[in-house]
Amino acid sequence: MSVTASPRSALVKTQSPFLDWLDQNKGKWTKWTLITLVVAYVAFLIVTPIAALAVGAFEKGIGKIISSLNQPDVFLAFWNTIWISLVVVTIHAIFGTLVAWVFVRHRFPGRNLINGLVDMPFAVSPVVAGYMLLLLFGRNGMLAPVIDALGIQVAFAMPGMVLATLFVTMPFMIRELVPVLEAFDIRQEKAAATLGATGWQTFWRVTFPALRWGMIYGITLTFARALGEFGAVLVIGGGVQGRTETATLFIYRALDERQYIGAYSAALVLGLFSLILVLGSDWLRRKRE
């Protein structure tokens, strides 16, 4: 199930007896009442808060926005967010594809169980996700001896935050790819094989192109989710300015420091960025269809 599936094409004049009946029996204005109701709800619930944020950010003019955002720690925080998101997207692109592939093409014991587990991160609160990693990598954590031996710091450092973000974004790629893989006609692969292609060639030349769009949507959703991660990185990262502070953590700190314009502007920037990603992929999807 893809949460962002958009209607294929606008349904033009439908000859729906139900709609006609609604119009006739429930009043001519049923259509417009319902539409107004929906539009009002959406306007109230979704548009006004975003508008309020924009108004709050622009309250002291665009100059103040620029000066609040033009600080080294803001750049650093955004850089951390982008870096973490890129690493996460790359890893999921590779391994998510792998997992989807293995699911669709192979059979092995425990397959169904793992099938369900992939969606687990969706059910786990980000706080819990961060806490699980703390249990593993904190000073008295289960894997602490291992990482100490390797000399890496995971908790309260970037690797921990990457892991936390990896966890919460896990389902997206796989959910996008599995249906695509399922729908893909394996006879094409077979044909390639009989024509002498190696496994790798078959994958790259035959299967991968069909996956491309699934991957693009998966990457977009993963990226947008990773950009906005807050609870998990707060618990595992500690919000150390200049070191483990992401854009979301910066916003949180800016609110604490009474830097409201800075907080709201950063929120707008972050929101806009994710928005472009999500709406962009929606638009691309619609264009394809």
If the CB atoms of residues 5 and 62 are measured against other proteins, the closer one turns out to be 5
Which residue from 235, 77, 112, 110 is spatially nearest to 168, judged by alpha carbons? 235
What are residue 88's phi and psi, to 5 degrees? -60, -45
Q: Which of 1, 195, 209, 289 binds other proteins (CB under 8 A)?
A: 1
- Cα-Cα-Cα-Cα torsion 94, 98, 101, 106, nearest 10 degrees, comes to 170
* Angle (CA) 138 139 143, round 5°: 65
What are residue 38's phi and psi, to 5 degrees? -65, -45
Q: How many helices (H) and strands (E) does the chain have?
A: 16, 0
Binding mask 127-156 for other proteins (x = CB under 8 A): xxx-xxxxxxxxx-xx-x-----xxxx-xx
Q: Which of 28, 35, 60, 284 binds other proteins (CB under 8 A)?
A: 35
Q: Which of 89, 174, 206, 211 binds other proteins (CB under 8 A)?
A: 174
Least Å from the CB of residue 271 to other proteins: 5
CA 175 to chain centroid: 12
If the CB atoms of residues 69 and 193 are measured against other proteins, the closer one turns out to be 193
If the CB atoms of residues 66 and 75 are measured against other proteins, the closer one turns out to be 75
Q: Which of 115, 146, 212, 284 binds other proteins (CB under 8 A)?
A: 115
If the CB atoms of residues 213 and 231 are measured against other proteins, the closer one turns out to be 231
114 is an interface residue for other proteins by CB under 8 A: yes
DSSP, res 13: S
186 is an interface residue for other proteins by CB under 8 A: yes
271 is an interface residue for other proteins by CB under 8 A: yes
Size of the residue set binding other proteins (CB under 8 A): 152
125 is an interface residue for other proteins by CB under 8 A: yes
Tally Cβ neighbours within 10 Å of residue 136. 18
Contact 202, 124 (CB under 8 A): no
Least Å from the CB of residue 219 to other proteins: 14
Q: CB under 8 Å to 58, separation ≥6 — which residues?
A: 65
Least Å from the CB of residue 41 to other proteins: 5
> Of 188-247, which residues contact other proteins (CB under 8 A)?
189-190, 193, 198-200, 202-203, 221, 224, 227-231, 235, 238-243, 247
If the CB atoms of residues 14 and 70 are measured against other proteins, the closer one turns out to be 14
179 is an interface residue for other proteins by CB under 8 A: yes
If the CB atoms of residues 66 and 275 are measured against other proteins, the closer one turns out to be 275
If the CB atoms of residues 193 and 210 are measured against other proteins, the closer one turns out to be 193
Token output for 185: 């006609």
Tally Cβ neighbours within 10 Å of residue 53. 16
Contact 201, 167 (CB under 8 A): no
Question: Could you give the CA distance from residue 128 to residue 236 in angstroms, rounded to a whole number?
Answer: 10
